[in-house]
Amino acid sequence: MRFLVTLCIITLATTLQAQQANIPKVFTLGASEQAYESLNQSYSKTLLEATNGDIKLAFDQWLLMMKEMDEYAEQIKFDLNGVKLWLHVFWGAGGKIDHIGYLLRSDSRNIDAAELKAFFSSFMNRYTFPIKSDKPFNHYTGATFPTFSVKVNN
């Protein structure tokens, strides 16, 4: 019985790894639901959990990453202004971005999908998120560019 359970667990883990290997680093949400589900299972910890429930820290670090994207786009002369999308980021435990899923919102300006994917790929290769965790983690939210924010202290 133990052998059968162990075999099932190994088979499931191998299947999940194989599915993840087929997921591009940058992908359009909805392109491969089964692979996307396996990512969600492997990166089941949320950004909020990775910050031990500190919503301010989670939000501030997310916002800083969006600003880094803005600055990087400016450096390489890539126009992100007017882009609005749903963004799902998957980080390894050390803070490196492993995958970015995105879906342009209907109110976004048009942008070439290949160029956007190339931008995200390039950004991923140079950026490390400051939050570290004992497990891989993820965050899903809307994003608009340019990033505007104002801190309000009470």
Model pTM score: 0.83
Express each pLDDT in 113-154 by its tens digit.
999 999 999 999 999 999 999 999 999 999 999 998 656 566
Residue ranges per structural domain of the chain? 2-144
For the stretch 59-114, pLDDT in tens is 999 999 999 999 999 999 999 999 999 999 999 999 999 999 999 999 999 999 99
Starting at the edge strand found earlier in the chain, the sheet holding 84-91 runs: 26-28, 97-104, 84-91, 137-144, 45-46
Identify the pLDDT of residue 16.
Answer: 42
Residue 103 half-sphere exposure, CB side, CA atoms within 13 Å? 11
In 76-141, which residue ranges form alpha helices assigned H by DSSP? 113-126
* 3-class secondary structure per residue, 61-87: HHHHHHHHHHHHHHHCCCCCCCCEEEE
Alpha helices, H only, the chain: 2-21, 33-42, 47-50, 55-75, 113-126
Query: How does pLDDT run across 11-64, given as a tens digit for each residue?
Result: 344 334 434 457 899 999 998 889 999 999 999 999 999 999 999 999 999 999
Report the pLDDT value the prediction gives residue 77, as an integer from 0 to 100.
Answer: 97
Residue type for position 104: L
